[in-house]
């Protein structure tokens, strides 16, 4: 745990101040496990500083100073008439600026901060999502069971470094079957329930490439082309079938059998895990009477017998993937992990209810959150700016060290993720934020948001959230207006 947290972020809140460090370029730092179930994790590379180190005993801004810096930049022509803001000093928790701090606002993708925090609390930063293969009920049948890992890859060319791989799972199955080639692959994606698209999503989301069907079995976050690893790109309509077909091909099955992959439900049997009251798993020892087919040296394999398993990268890395490039299908998968950990249905409704419940467990106000999904795509989501700054405070405070992973994937202004091309132009008035603003963005038509941390010119670390949900302009106008506010916090001592 200590090594994991140190590699993600160092937050030392003490008399000496608070230091923030960031790993090097995301693609290089996130490489690692090859998808096989590890016996021991290799050490992560040491992070390199990106956000300026916080000055020891840096002077805290005053409310009047912050107000003088921010008020002139709250531009209704660019941001509309509902711009709700919260700014806190992280070291003390003191409120430095409020503008509708408790107003329930459409948060867009800043929702992912809530999803990330709650899944780290519910599952822990080291939890890995399994994808399993078991013997089917019919002779020669293998069932591929989706456990909800959205980063699962077909092979080494997957979208996410260190992802679990179907070709390696196929090798395990071949060994378990003594080299016998299965005759049939069935996919079981029944872990999730309810609709595969949230009713509050805009009508173009299912086909626009920023979202897709939310299913318990998919590869590369349902991308049709794994090389398109970031941003909006074409998603598969039936990602579970596509995963099953890739698996069947890796098993060496003939083309007709590959095309014949269909949905079904895995049989239970010895070694079949089921949820326990804590959200973990217990192993069934129920006897089975029917043999599925021959195993090594002619032995019969009982239906439901596990033939192989691969596991996702640890949860903190999944949170990083989600936050850095605002990946919506990873967010929905992680919300369902919160649901499973709290014995709720793995659905949009179950995930939203579980996320809200975990917020309450963490001591955050129930009335300031009303969610419908985990990604922020739904226009029925509501959060308050003060809830976002409160959760940042909680993660940075040191009392819940498992939550520190929320910071590892936050884009850094002018450098990474969804902020890589923002805060760069001196003419835009936000360049002071480059390298010292680390934040989650949020964008829907008519909604623009940003929330995270910023280091002031005098070395004080602040948490901030800016949510605007009646934006009259498009994002090319609204985003620079938001960035100017964050840049102003970075450039001033605000005293």
Q: Are 315 and 335 in contact (CB under 8 A)?
A: no
Contacts of 108 (CB under 8 A, 6+ apart): 376, 381, 442, 443, 444, 447, 448, 449
Q: Name residue 187's beta-bridge partners.
A: 144, 263
Beta strands across the sheet bearing 184-188: 262-263, 184-188, 141-145, 130-135, 306-311
Q: Can you give 304-333 as a three-state secondary structure string?
A: CCEEEEEECCCHHHHHHHHHHCCCHHHHHH
Rounded Cα–Cα distance for residues 439 and 81 (Å): 23
Please classify residue 287 by burial: count the beta carbons closer than 10 Å to its beta carbon, then call 0-12 exposed, 13-18 middle and 19+ buried.
exposed
Rounded Cα–Cα distance for residues 132 and 354 (Å): 25
Through-space distance between the first and last CA atoms of the chain, rounded to whole angstroms:
39
SS3 state of residue 268: coil
Q: How many CB atoms neighbour CB 214 within 10 A?
A: 30
Q: Name residue 153's beta-bridge partners.
A: 165
Burial state string for 183-196 with b = 16 or more CB within 10 A and e = fewer than 16: bbbbbbbbbbeeeb
Q: What CA–CA distances, in Å, run from 371 to 191, 368, 382?
A: 21, 10, 6
Concatenating the DSSP letter of every residue in 12-28 gives --BTTB----B-S-HHH
Q: How, if at all, do strands 141-145 and 130-135 pair? A: antiparallel
Catalytic residues: 109, 112, 326
Q: Is the dihedral of CA 131, 135, 137, 138 positive or negative?
A: positive
Rounded Cα–Cα distance for residues 407 and 412 (Å): 10
């Amino acid at each position: 745990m200590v090594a994991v947290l140190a590699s993600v972020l160092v937050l030392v809140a003490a008399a000496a101040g608070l230091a923030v460090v960031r790993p090097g370029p995301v693609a290089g730092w996130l490489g690692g496990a090859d998808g096989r179930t590890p016996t021991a994790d290799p050490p992560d590379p040491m992070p390199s500083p990106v956000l300026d180190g916080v000055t020891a005993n840096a002077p805290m801004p005053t409310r009047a100073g912050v107000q003088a810096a921010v008020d002139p930049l709250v531009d209704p022509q660019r941001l509309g008439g509902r711009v709700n803001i919260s700014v806190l000093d992280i070291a003390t928790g003191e409120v430095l600026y409020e503008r509708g701090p408790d107003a329930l606002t459409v948060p867009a993708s800043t929702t992912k901060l809530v999803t990330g925090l709650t899944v780290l609390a519910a599952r822990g930063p080291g939890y890995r999502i399994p994808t399993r293969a078991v013997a089917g009920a019919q002779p020669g049948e293998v069932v591929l069971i989706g456990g909800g890992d959205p980063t699962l890859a077909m092979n080494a060319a997957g979208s996410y470094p260190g992802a679990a791989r179907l070709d390696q799972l196929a090798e395990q199955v071949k060994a378990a079957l003594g080299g016998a080639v299965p005759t049939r692959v069935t996919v079981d994606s029944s872990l999730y329930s309810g609709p595969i698209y949230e009713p509050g999503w805009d009508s173009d989301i299912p086909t626009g490439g920023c979202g897709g069907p939310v299913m318990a079995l998919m590869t590369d976050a349902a991308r049709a082309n794994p090389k398109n690893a970031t941003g909006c790109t074409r998603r598969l309509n039936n990602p579970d079938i596509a995963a099953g077909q890739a698996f069947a091909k890796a098993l060496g099955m003939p083309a007709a059998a590959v095309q014949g992959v269909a949905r079904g439900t895995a049989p239970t049997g010895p070694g079949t895990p089921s949820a326990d009251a804590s959200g973990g798993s217990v192993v069934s020892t129920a006897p089975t009477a029917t043999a599925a087919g021959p195993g090594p040296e002619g032995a019969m394999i009982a239906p439901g017998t596990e033939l192989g398993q691969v596991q996702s990268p640890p949860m903190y890395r999944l949170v990083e993937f989600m936050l850095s490039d605002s990946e919506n299908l990873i967010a929905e998968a992680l919300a369902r992990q919160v649901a499973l950990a709290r014995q709720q249905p793995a659905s949009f409704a179950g995930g939203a209810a579980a996320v809200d419940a975990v917020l309450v467990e963490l001591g955050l106000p129930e009335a300031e959150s009303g969610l419908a999904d985990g990604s922020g795509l739904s226009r029925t989501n509501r959060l308050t700016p003060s809830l976002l700054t409160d959760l940042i405070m909680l993660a940075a405070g040191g009392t819940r060290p498992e939550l520190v992973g929320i910071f590892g994937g936050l884009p850094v202004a002018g450098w990474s993720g969804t902020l890589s091309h923002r805060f760069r132009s001196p003419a835009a008035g936000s360049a002071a934020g480059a390298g010292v603003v680390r934040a989650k963005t949020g964008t829907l038509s008519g909604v623009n948001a940003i929330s995270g941390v910023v280091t002031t010119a005098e070395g004080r670390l602040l948490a901030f959230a800016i949510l605007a949900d009646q934006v009259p302009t498009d994002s090319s106008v609204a985003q620079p207006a938001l960035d100017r506010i964050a840049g102003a916090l970075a450039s001033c001592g605000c005293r």
